[in-house]
Amino acid sequence: MAYDFSMTDLSYSVGDDTQRVVLQLQNAILKRIARGESLDVTCRSLCEQVEQLVPGVICSVLTVDRAGRMHPLAGPSLPESYSQAIDGAAIGPLAGSCGTAAYLGIDVSVADIATDPRWADFKHLVAPLGLRGCWSSPISNPDGLTVATFAFYYREARGPTAFERVLVEHCLHLCLIAIDRHNRVVEHERRAFTDTLTELPNRAAFNAALADIRGRSVARWALFVLDLDNLKVINDTFGHPAGDAVLRIVGQRIAAAGEPGRTFRVGGDEFALILESADDLAEPDAIAQRILDALGRPADCGGQIVVPRATIGGAVYIAGDPVTAPVRQNADFALYHAKDTARGSFVMYSAALGSSMTRRLHAIRDVSAALCDGRIEAYYQPIFRLDTREIVGLEALCRMRIDDRIISAAAFHEATSDARVSTALTERMMGLVAADIRTWLDLGLAIQHVGINVSSEDLSGGAIARVLASAFERHDVSLEHVILEVTETVYMGRGDQAIQEAIRALRDHGIRVALDDFGTGFASLTHLLTVPVDVIKIDKTFVDHLEPDSVSATIVEGLIRVAKKMGIRIVAEGIESDQQIAQLRAIGCVLGQGFVFSPAVDRDATTALLAMHGQREARRVGGGGMARAS
């Protein structure tokens, strides 16, 4: 929008003094606009300067919103009570001078407010102020839409003078320039603080909202952070347009369930919600459940029916309580915990949870450093025949070296909940195992197979077979020497269908799979009919309770018989005594693992064990020791 304020604008007016006065006013206001002063400050200054030029006049600027309602912008000489009384009044043919001017789009001059019908509903507001006349002019944008009014109030019954008309003509242009600049700034800020896909406030707006709420020293408020659980699946299955539609619908549903204007999209599939109202703070669990219920309804996303799922973490800030001060961190902790333990639900932060998450983050930090420094090592525990005590295989166990200490995996297990760390650990272990097998083969030792533990993150990532093949090809070792071990909790855990499909794909590629810790979860032999494995490792708890005619003995004996018919090998874990070996042999178990033979030891000690106890038949036939042993 271009505005020309050359001296020819005044050619129709009065003398040089008027031109000089108007030009000075014009320059003063344009400087304020150029400096970026706010609209209300600029218009207030305009009114004050005009009132100095025309003594006895009271100047006013009102804005008109899209709904046709007026709002005071500047009126420094009008009492606040009057501005409040007309705020929100509708424009119309009988809405005073300003409301009528805005409605008709023309100047409206009322010389006698007390008798003019257009002031009938408003004259009681100005009579106590001693105001008798009012002249108002509409301020219209280039599209002809009235966006504001500029008015003079008089203490006597009169209309505008010639000088006032010249003055106001320029004031209208100045106001329009100021309003246009203000609207451009507002639109720029709106775009800067609005997510283009969902039309929700974005991360920048979220950060500003947090700064504002802290600046206002709000005594108690809450923060929810929410992650969609299935956006990647939706994108991969139906395409990104469907995923975008899900994000828009999710944003609308969260905003509708929470406080208006306090829902933010802060990342790809991450949203945040700020709660300040007393009702919401009294029942945060109810608000979270309302959001989850709203999200759980089927949604039409470009012709695809999708059911959004989400996990929510929440935290409350309480003034004076230092535990609640890092509210954003606390809410993130709660979200991480919910995703690990209760995906699809809501978890509120507590001090105990914070301690747990701090330990987890420290574990992630320590393991990441150990990976970078090459301090992750492979230890091995033998799997042996119960009758001959020959080693038929090994289980590789992850260890972390800190100075002269060796730390078992149990001490840093929390780090494996981080997908990146878990994947890096598995890749490191595969490389170490492949290198060690190559060494043992070159020494002519009887090494048949090594079991490597893999996590749900390894399996769900889809790259496990490629990583394994790469590590073993690099060391020229056949994949017949490896068995991937999956715990029963992973086998039957969240997303079990995807995990079982990954297991099926591995076996289709000729990679053997063992089901570890059998008996600790909810797996059953019926699941093995659809997704079979090659080996079942019976958990130590059964071995600990092996008494004659005990329930454990009956279960293990039955499992051995069924597994044998299914072509599945059985290994008993956690054997600690010769008595347990005798009991296991009595019920038909052939293979075992435990301290009675050897704890997990490093590569050199394992080399010595293989040299002394390696299954001799393997040297003649090669590979497959576990297949022959049962």
- Counted residue by residue, the chain has a size of 630
If asked whether residues 483 and 589 sit together in one domain, one would say yes
Look at 257 and 432; give whichever has higher pLDDT: 432
pLDDT score for 323: 79
Compute CA distances 262 → 203, 206, 282, whole Å. Answer: 12, 9, 17
Give the CATH number of the domain where residue 98 resides.
Answer: 3.30.450.40
Q: Do 551 and 542 form a contact (C-beta atoms < 8 A)?
A: no
Q: Which two tokens stand for residue 106?
A: 């023309």
Q: For residues 130 and 26, state if they share a domain.
A: yes
User: Does residue 499 contact residue 493 with C-beta atoms inside 8 Å?
Assistant: yes
**pLDDT number for residue 190:** 85
Checking if the pLDDT of 450 tops 90, the result is: yes
- Tens digits of residue pLDDT in 480-529: 999 999 887 777 655 556 777 788 888 888 899 998 888 765 556 666 77
Percent of the chain with pLDDT strictly greater than 90: 56
State how far the Cα of 452 lies from the Cα of 381, in Å rounded to an integer. Answer: 11
159 and 215 part of one domain: no
Are 221 and 182 part of one and the same domain?
Answer: no
Residue 358: the pLDDT is 78
Considering the domain architecture, whether residues 207 and 138 belong to the same structural domain is answered as no
Helix (H) or strand (E) holding 417: none
The CA R_g of the chain, rounded to the nearest whole Å, is 39
Whether residues 164 and 283 fall in one domain: no
Q: Are 601 and 478 in a shared domain?
A: yes
Domain assignment present for residue 360? The answer is no
The residue behind tokens 């019954």 is 157
Render pLDDT for 257-268 as a digit per residue (tens, 0 to 9). 887 779 999 988
Domain boundary, last residue among 135, 157, 191: 191
d(CA 256, CA 385): 64
Same domain, 60 and 138: yes
Which contacts of 15-23 are long-range, i.e. CB under 8 A and separated by 24 or more positions? 18/163, 18/166, 21/53, 21/167, 22/166, 22/167, 22/170
> What is the average per-residue pLDDT within 611-617?
83
CA distances from 50 to 149, 301, 501, 591, 607 (A): 15, 57, 79, 100, 97
Band of pLDDT at residue 438, cut at 50, 70 and 90: very high
Q: Do β-strands 346-348 and 310-318 pair in parallel, antiparallel, or remain unpaired? A: parallel
Does residue 359 form part of some domain? no
The confidence band for 333, taking pLDDT boundaries of 50, 70 and 90, is confident
pLDDT score at 4: 45
pLDDT of residue 19: 83
* Mean pLDDT score across all residues of the chain: 87
pLDDT digit string, tens, across residues 345-376: 999 988 877 777 778 788 888 999 999 999 99
Domain end, chosen from 124, 158, 191, is at: 191
Same domain, 560 and 454: yes
Q: In terms of residue numbers, what domain contains 405?
A: 382-629
Q: What is the pLDDT of residue 341?
A: 75
User: Could you tell me if 278 and 344 lie in one domain?
Assistant: yes
Q: What is the pLDDT of residues 33-78, one digit of tens each?
A: 999 899 999 999 999 999 999 999 999 999 999 999 999 999 999 9
Q: Is the pLDDT of residue 595 over 70?
A: yes
Domains held by the chain: number? 3
Q: What is the CATH number of the domain that holds 547?
A: 3.20.20.450
- What is the pTM for the complete model shown? 0.57
Q: Is 301 left (phi over 0), alpha (psi -120 to 50) or beta?
A: beta
Domain end marker among 332, 349, 366: 349
Query: CA dihedral defined by 578, 581, 587, 592, rounded to 10 degrees?
Result: 170
What number is the average pLDDT over the span 389-417? 90
